Structure 1
Amino acid sequence: MSKRNLAIVTGASSGIGLELARLAAENAYDLIIAADEDLAAVADELRGTGSQVETVVADLATIDGVDRLCAAVRDTGRVPDLLMANAGHGLGHAFFDQRVEEWRHVIDTNITGTIYLIQQLGPDMCSQGSGRILITGSIAGFMPGTFQAVYNGTKAFIDSFSFALRNEIKDSGVTVTCLMPGPTETNFFRRADLMDTKVGQQEKDDAAYVARVGFDAMMKGEGDVVAGWKNKLQATIANVTPASVLAEQHRRMAEPGSGKT
């Protein structure tokens, strides 16, 4: 790969991750992109900007999958300048109706794989004395996720983790930014089996807009950013609303069949 700065993007096959990769390429970064889906077409598109692009197709819910990505990074002999940990997985329906392997994959993707990746690559960035880490959290982390209980719980963890890590490494030259979107127009709701819910059918934010908000905040070194004024308002209200009320509100949006008229 060339001597240009290097960006890592996970969950880059579509949605926010793809848009983050596009922004990195437009800003003259070489890329290593990772996802659990084929990335050939995405890589071809990104190379059209002049960026050199490597792909890693792996399940980032697994230690082995993350190790494969880290190996690809280390094989370049370069330290990432941008690390965008965006891979995420949702899951709808009642918790008691979910199979263990389903909810565990959500936890392993959103939490275990994410923080393992950051722990593997972050120290080298700190030793380098510069870099930006962007973690995709969610405003879902501010509220109990009735019929999305595990997913919202993982995002509460990620939102909290990002602030703690940011403070731990505040003197390293590396910043940590948490992007907290609301419902966004991606494949998330289809993959989470939420298309028959109100939240699955409502109008959502544009993924390119959300990615731009997150990318700009990361480049400025900001600690967190909520994309969209409606989501900012919702996050503010959630901070002063009883958890029981929030749980009931979430039920009305995510209960299976709630999208039927």
Structure 2
Amino acid sequence: MGQATPTTKLAMVTGASSGIGYELAVQCAGQGFDLIIAADEAEIHQAGDKLRRMGVAVEALEANLATTEGCDKLYAALRGRPVDALLANAGRGLGRAFVDQDWQDIRYVIDTNVTGTVYLIQKIARDMRDRGAGRILITGSIAGFMPGTFQAVYNGTKAFLDSFSFAIRAELAETGVTVTCLMPGATETEFFERADMLDTKVGTDAKDDPAEVAKTGFDAMMAGEGDIVSGWYNKLQSAIANVTPASVLAEQHRKMAAPGTAKR
């Protein structure tokens, strides 16, 4: 990472090799933040090369953020430098029936979406609180509002993150640290391919633009907002979910996520 002046802002973005995470890093770079970006795949280095062309200093780190060791590796890369904005976006999906899934795949989703995310946030948020300044953006999901039939573990992790973000926002009130939860709907990324959901309705339906989702989240973070649902349709879905019985939501989700429901 190139030498930066002490006044340069620093943003840390996880899951930044592609999709919403990469676009969040683009938003940060566009506002003059130097970057530390991380993902669990080698493509993070290609993302770093592209972001450097925007004129900011970028350190790209390949690290498994499902592990304590990977999070510690990312935190150590700071070398004591304060983080002005943490964009905790790393996440994994997993489709198909819960009882048919491999336990290691289930564990990886939980450890990436919840365990590693919470561990990293605590380390960075503690530093921010002690300094009296900082912004945190957590990528939750409108999936957290509904039981995820054929996506049970993923939706459960997002329900955790949605709830967690509101709780720590309240705890950090008056400290100078803001916490924002970005709750997108289905977005055009590699998510559905990685989650083995290309034979589902939700996997083949039209999806939101990750660049637009990222801008919505970034702007909300900079404004210190508590939460933001991206897109009018997703806002409608989340509002309906709040007044619909969980059993009905579970059946609706089945129609979107069950294998073999892809549009033909």
Q: TM-score, normalised by structure 1?
A: 0.98
Structure-to-structure mapping, 1:205-244, within 5 angstroms: 205-244=208-247
Structure-to-structure mapping, 1:162-177, within 5 angstroms: 162-177=165-180
Partner of 2:55: 50
Structure-to-structure mapping, 1:3-42, within 5 angstroms: 3=5, 4-38=8-42, 39-42=44-47
Any idea what SS the aligned residue of 2:187 has?
coil
Question: RMSD across aligned C-alpha pairs, in angstroms?
Answer: 0.7
Partner of 1:2: 4
* 2:183 paired with 1:180: yes
Partner of 2:102: 99
Aligned residue type for 1:2: A
Any idea what SS the aligned residue of 1:80 has?
coil
Partner of 1:120: 123
Give the whole-Å Cα distance in 2 for the aligned partners of 1:57 and 1:185.
Answer: 23
Partner of 2:75: 70
Instruction: State the Cα distance separating 1:43 from its structure 2 match.
Output: 1.0
Partner of 2:147: 144
Conserved 8 A contact 2:36-2:58: yes
The answer to which of 119-128 and 83-92 deviates more is: 119-128
Conserved 8 A contact 2:205-2:263: no
Q: 1:260 to 1:210 in 2, by over 3 A?
A: closer
Any idea what SS the aligned residue of 1:135 has?
strand
Instruction: State the Cα distance separating 1:121 from its structure 2 match.
Output: 1.1
Aligned residue type for 1:202: D
Conserved 8 A contact 2:88-2:139: yes
Conserved 8 A contact 2:114-2:157: yes
* 2:127 paired with 1:131: no
Q: What are the ranges of 5 or more consecutive residues in structure 1 without an aligned counterpart?
A: none
Aligned residue type for 2:182: L
Give the whole-Å Cα distance in 1 for the aligned partners of 2:245 and 2:236.
Answer: 16
Q: Which of 251, 254, 257 is matched with 1:254 structurally?
A: 257
Q: What are the ranges of 5 or more consecutive residues in structure 2 without an aligned counterpart?
A: none
Q: Which of 145, 160, 164 is matched with 2:163 structurally?
A: 160
Give the whole-Å Cα distance in 2 for the aligned partners of 1:95 and 1:49.
Answer: 43
Q: TM-score, normalised by structure 2?
A: 0.97
Give the whole-Å Cα distance in 2 for the aligned partners of 1:175 and 1:248.
Answer: 36
Any idea what SS the aligned residue of 2:178 has?
strand
Conserved 8 A contact 2:204-2:263: no
Any idea what SS the aligned residue of 1:134 has?
strand
Deviations 1:126-153 (A, max 9, x none): 1111111000000000000000000000
Instruction: State the Cα distance separating 1:260 from its structure 2 match.
Output: 5.0
Deviations 1:41-76 (A, max 9, x none): 211111112111111101111111111000101x1x
Aligned residue type for 1:83: L
